[in-house]
Amino acid sequence: MRIKTPPATAADIHATIASLADPTRTRLLLLLGRYELSVNELCAAVQLPQSTVSRHLKHLSDDGWLITRSEGPSRYYRLAPRLEPVAKQLWQVVRDGLGAQPETAQDEARATQVLSERRTRSQEFFSSTAGQWDALRADLFGARAGFAGLLALLDDDIVIGDLGCGTGIVSNELAPYAGRVIAVDESREMLSAARRRLHERENVELRCGALEALPLDDGELDAAVMSLVLHYVPEPVAALSEARRVLKPGGRLIVVDMMAHGRAEYREAMGHVWQGFTQEQVHAWLAECGFGRVRWRGLAAEPGAKGPVLFAASGTAM
């Protein structure tokens, strides 16, 4: 029988009653209304042979009571979330009547045990592979798998400024998780490259302007990022004060840049103004510009990176 759309015929009603008129089938349905289980797990829970359980599962599936899901070699069953009205009504009567029977409680206790064994299997996997998990994770998903997803911790209506956005790498990472990203740079060439990278990001706006006179209103941002920019700014206090102005009170600024280093050739080669920064310098500037709760973190160097070690300093607009 295939359960049909209402109105149900007399034949439908009798077929639905017949479908439920078997104690093994109702035991299986009571379990599958609560848990998703494989044939073997059901056999253990109801203590019946596989041939019996499989036969009743086929009957119930054919009658539209169950949905199934395959995972590897296993097939999992559960009660169909949407039943035809007549089936739903009859099922409620049966479930309410049988749900309180001692045998049902026994089946449930065994099903719970079966499910806890599933958990034990995953625990065994991790206790035997603890030493190799890092390599396995990298092998399966990549060395930085899932880290970008951590940005989903951001409120999805947050407005973030990418100050000194360059070609838009940072904006591109932030955009999927933010309400809006306002990317600012003084170089029209860099902004053109950013436009090419970000043209499909509808929540990113590019603005041309200087960090020392940001094209942003007071309190327009919830958060701001200055990534690999501050070492180009002759007067960091001027840029950090502007960042404070355009943040809402309580908004947060993150500065990512190089720790103090000795590579003087970067001035000539890349126009750097500062050879990185010390923690004391950055802390003092942020405090001077109206930021509190200042934090500093050294960042782990990426394997193979040739440049100086980076830091991330943050402060809250007071």
E-strand ranges in the chain read 37-38, 66-71, 74-79, 159-163, 180-185, 204-208, 221-227, 247-258, 291-298, 310-317
CA distance 8 to 231: 76
> In the complex, what is the shortest distance from the CB of residue 316 to ligand SAM, in angstroms, rounded to a whole number?
21
> In the complex, what is the shortest distance from the CB of residue 150 to ligand SAM, in angstroms, rounded to a whole number?
18
CA distance 32 to 64: 13
Which one among 166, 236, 308, 315 touches ligand SAM, defined by CB under 6 A?
166
CA distance 234 to 144: 34
Which one among 164, 251, 276, 308 touches ligand SAM, defined by CB under 6 A?
164
**Residue 165 interacts with ligand SAM (CB under 6 A)?**
yes
> In the complex, what is the shortest distance from the CB of residue 287 to ligand SAM, in angstroms, rounded to a whole number?
21
Count the Cβ atoms, other than its own, within 10 Å of residue 22: 14
Residue number with CB closer to ligand SAM (229 or 317): 229
**Residue 228 interacts with ligand SAM (CB under 6 A)?**
yes
Answer whether 84's CB lies under 8 Å from 8's CB. yes
User: Cα dist. 123→45, 97, 114, 120, 218 in Å?
Assistant: 22, 38, 14, 5, 52
**Phi, psi (5° rounding) for residue 213?**
-150, 70
Name the percent of the chain in helix, strand, coil, to the closest 5.
Answer: 50, 20, 30
* Closest alpha carbon to 196 in 163, 176, 169, 216: 169
Choose the stretch contacting ligand SAM; rule: CB under 6 A; options: 28-36, 185-193, 281-289, 291-299: 185-193
Structure tokens at 161: 């400024």
* Closest alpha carbon to 166 in 104, 106, 228, 118: 228
Which one among 222, 227, 266, 289 touches ligand SAM, defined by CB under 6 A?
227
Residue number with CB closer to ligand SAM (63 or 185): 185
Contact string (CB under 6 A) for ligand SAM, positions 186-225, x = contact: xx--x-------------------xxx-------------
Choose the stretch contacting ligand SAM; rule: CB under 6 A; options: 39-47, 180-188, 215-223, 281-289: 180-188
Answer whether 237's CB lies under 8 Å from 289's CB. yes
Residue number with CB closer to ligand SAM (20 or 258): 258
> In the complex, what is the shortest distance from the CB of residue 176 to ligand SAM, in angstroms, rounded to a whole number?
17
Structure tokens at 101: 């029977």
Residue number with CB closer to ligand SAM (159 or 229): 229
**Residue 169 interacts with ligand SAM (CB under 6 A)?**
yes
Residue number with CB closer to ligand SAM (94 or 169): 169
Residue number with CB closer to ligand SAM (97 or 298): 298
Answer whether 220's CB lies under 8 Å from 233's CB. no
* Closest alpha carbon to 97 in 18, 15, 23: 23
Q: Which residue is nearest to ligand SAM (CB)?
A: 166
Contact string (CB under 6 A) for ligand SAM, positions 232-271, x = contact: xx--------------------------------------
> In the complex, what is the shortest distance from the CB of residue 183 to ligand SAM, in angstroms, rounded to a whole number?
9
Residues at the site binding ligand SAM, with contacts judged by CB under 6 A: 164-166, 169-170, 185-187, 190, 210-212, 227-229, 232-233
